[in-house]
Amino acid sequence: MATTTYTSDQPTVPRVSSRWARIRRLPWPLVVGGFLLLIYVIIAITGGLWAPYPYDKIAAGKPFESPSVEHLFGTDQMGRDMFSRVVLGTPIVLFLALTSTLLAVTLGGLLGLLSGFVGGWFDGAMMRIFEVFISIPVIVFALLVITAAGLRLSGNFFVLIGVVALVYLPRTGRMTRAVTLDLVTRDYITVARARGESAWSIVRRELLPNATGVLLVEFGVRAGYAPILIGSLGFLGFGVQPPTPEWGLMISENRVALTAAPYTVLAPAIALSGLVISLNLFTDGVARVFGRQVRL
Amino acid sequence: MILRVLLTRIVTAFLTLLAVSVIIFAAVDVLPGDIAARVIGRHATEEMKENYRKMRGLDRPVYERYGHWLLGAVQGDFGDSLVNDYRVTDIVWPKLKNTLFLAAYAFVIYIPLATILGSLGAVFREGPIDTGVSLATLIGLSIPEFVMGTFLLVVFALKLNAFPVLSVINMAEGFWDALRLMTLPAVTLAIAMAVYAIRMLRDNLIEVLDSEYIRMAILKGLPLHKVVLRHGLPNALIPSLNVTALNLAYLIGGVVVVEKVFAFPGIGTLLVDAVFHRDAPVIEAAALIISAVYIFANLIADLLTILLNPRLRTT
């Protein structure tokens, strides 16, 4: 299907140097998604300064109080202020999602580039390993890693980041390798080889810059799914442990009171879905800038 | 020639499953450390642990234990549960049947849902219907299954009282009652699958509708719905078939979370509970069975793609 590619030198657009015009020329998902993400980041950074209560302050109000001026999203079973918990959960969710995705895309991307470039038995072995890991459904694989790490550690941030990164690494690796196979046929790679550059140097200086767009989009797609995976694990009881205000965990904690106090579930659910929507929109925008179609 | 391609693919699937079994065994049986200490608890003496290891055959070398486990698994024997000494097979089998029933139901809802919405998006492209469908799929993509399930639960089970809150199908009276009990989890799964498929089908159908033979059919004076149903959809469905088969694979993994939302007694709930209770043989059995279904769903997707696409047959 036809995709409009947005490049800096589109002839039809008159040269207007005002900043507004430049923003308007960007694809709308990038602008909307970027704006929403910015709000999330601002809340994550500054939330600690203005959140009305600490996240674990029990009996800030009566249990299951309805939303009011004092408790914007009401209170949960223990009378904790839901607004504060949602706000103070933002940096946790963002941190977990972004670090795990960054780890996976960095390692997976490097292995994929190397595998596609080196080829031969190394490539064959890498691909087999990746495929085996991809053959286990995501949530089952995550549960296996948690079992292997030991349940006692399941709330540990490092374990959680490791779990999500391990889930994505082979998927990112395989995707990058496919792109690399296409790149290595290009002339500039042949030239670099002829110059006698080392494999590592070619990967770093020729392949990596040219795969940046793909890796960025890959990062966005994965980052968009990471909060869902982390939330699902929290929901199942294997993610972040109470009383940490992780949104998936909050949904699971307050589900018992769904009819009596629906806002205690709605607030974290909307925060979580909103974050995923903004990440998906932003990624879609980035993909359009790079002239690629992204399958969300 | 084509037979060789198909055979290679089938053999690869079995080898993959074998490698997956190694990962599962390593993750559950080897890496977490001493099973004896975990099962007996903090009052374990050295002697008790030693006896327990002998009883369970844990004193044998790892490769021997793996071989023993795999041989049993192939014959459908996964040993005994650590929690209640039942045979794992007896625990897993009824749950697996429930899950497969649920998956089939979800699939039956998914097919028309995806086909109708995808076609609407393509036929009325760029119009309000298309925008609506696009927006709905974008939101659908961004709402985790457990949130979606919870919302459906609030609206249909708690507010409207149309469906039960818990999908305890063991208590169902007859087939129709079981269907009613499973509707909410099945719809949750169907929506989760459909969002991908709707986008795929819309794009594919637009591509097909732009082709010469479709324009020809329209010029001949064929009414639009006939053009779409007779010429458009069949050609757009083949590329979407792969997505559908991949969705089938997704279904078997996604079921884990959704079952837990509705307390559905399936293999996903079983797996989660087993991880919680550190019941190694049950974790292994559930993880292996789910992975096996996943691998074979993927295999079927690939085989269908090869068989239906002449260009792929030679590669």
Cα(A106)–Cα(A99) distance, rounded to whole angstroms? 10
Residues in chain A: 296
Interchain CB contact of A286 with B (< 8 Å): no
Q: Residue B271 has what pLDDT?
A: 92
Interchain CB contact of A291 with B (< 8 Å): no
Q: Is the peptide bond before A243 cis (omega within 30 degrees of 0)?
A: yes
Q: Which residues, 6 or more positions from B13, have their beta carbon under 8 angstroms from its beta carbon?
A: B295, B296, B298, B299
Q: Residue B63 has what pLDDT?
A: 83
- Answer whether B168's CB lies under 8 Å from B265's CB: yes
- Answer whether B286's CB lies under 8 Å from B220's CB: no
Sign of the C-alpha dihedral computed for residues A90, A93, A95 and A97 taken in this order:
negative
The shares of helix, strand and coil residues in chain A, as percent rounded to the nearest 5, are: 70, 0, 30
Provide the shortest C-alpha distance from residue A233 to chain B (in Å): 9
Cα A109–A224–B296 angle (5° rounding)? 70
Closest CA in chain A for residue B263: A236
Which pLDDT band holds residue B203 (cuts at 50, 70, 90)? confident
Cα(B106)–Cα(B100) distance, rounded to whole angstroms? 10
Question: First and final CA of chain B: distance in angstroms?
Answer: 10
- Considering CB atoms only, which of B28, B260, B291 is closest to A147? B28
- Other beta carbons within 10 Å of B293: 22
- Return the residue matching tokens 């949602």: A86
Residue type, A275: L
Contacts of A140 in chain B (CB under 8 A): 253, 256, 271, 287, 290-291
- Considering CB atoms only, which of B17, B147, B298 is closest to A269? B147
Contacts of A148 in chain B (CB under 8 A): 26-28, 31-32
pLDDT digits (tens, 9 = 90+) for B264-283: 888 999 999 888 888 888 89
- Answer whether A272's CB lies under 8 Å from B147's CB: yes
From A174, A158, A18, select the one nearest A99 (Cα to Cα). A158
Best mutation target, B22, B146, B161, to test chain A (most A CBs within 10 A): B146
From A177, A184, A214, A215, select the one nearest A199 (Cα to Cα). A184
Interchain CB contact of B144 with A (< 8 Å): yes
Closest CA in chain A for residue B256: A139
pLDDT digits (tens, 9 = 90+) for B77-135: 877 777 777 888 888 888 888 888 888 899 899 888 888 888 888 888 777 888 888 88
User: Which residue ranges form the domains of chain A, and what is each CATH number?
Assistant: 26-289 (1.10.3720.10)
B90-277 has which fold? MetI-like fold (1.10.3720)
- Answer whether B230's CB lies under 8 Å from B285's CB: no
Question: First and final CA of chain A: distance in angstroms?
Answer: 15
Q: How far is CA A242 from CA A235, A251, A262, B39, B150, in A?
A: 11, 12, 20, 25, 20
Residue type, B146: F
Interchain CB contact of A108 with B (< 8 Å): no
Classify residue A67 by its DSSP letter: P
| Tokens (6 digits) for B184 | 């909410």
pLDDT digits (tens, 9 = 90+) for A132-189: 998 888 889 999 988 888 777 777 888 889 889 998 999 889 888 888 888 888 888 8
Cα(B114)–Cα(B196) distance, rounded to whole angstroms? 9
Cα(A96)–Cα(A102) distance, rounded to whole angstroms? 10
Cα(B80)–Cα(B87) distance, rounded to whole angstroms? 4
Q: Residue B315 has what pLDDT?
A: 46
| pTM over the 0.90 mark | no
> Does the pLDDT at position B33 exceed 70?
no
Cα(B214)–Cα(A173) distance, rounded to whole angstroms? 40
Pick out chain A residues at pLDDT < 50. Answer: 1-10, 13, 293-296
Cα(A226)–Cα(A43) distance, rounded to whole angstroms? 19
In three-state secondary structure terms, A70 is: coil
| Tokens (6 digits) for B111 | 């097919």
Q: Residue B19 has what pLDDT?
A: 92
Residue A42 CB-density burial (10 A; 0-12 exposed, 13-18 middle, 19+ buried):
exposed
| Tokens (6 digits) for B155 | 């609206």
- Answer whether A81's CB lies under 8 Å from A60's CB: yes
> Does the pLDDT at position B46 exceed 70?
yes
- Answer whether B126's CB lies under 8 Å from B118's CB: no
Interface of A with B in 131-170 (CB under 8 A): 131-133, 135-140, 143-151
H/E stretch holding A140? helix A138-149
* Residue spans per domain, chain B: 90-277
Which pLDDT band holds residue B147 (cuts at 50, 70, 90)? confident
Interchain CB contact of A236 with B (< 8 Å): yes
pLDDT digits (tens, 9 = 90+) for B205-248: 888 877 778 787 778 877 777 777 777 777 777 767 777 777 77
Classify residue A185 by its DSSP letter: T
Cα B117–B121–B122 angle (5° rounding)? 120
Cα(B108)–Cα(A227) distance, rounded to whole angstroms? 29
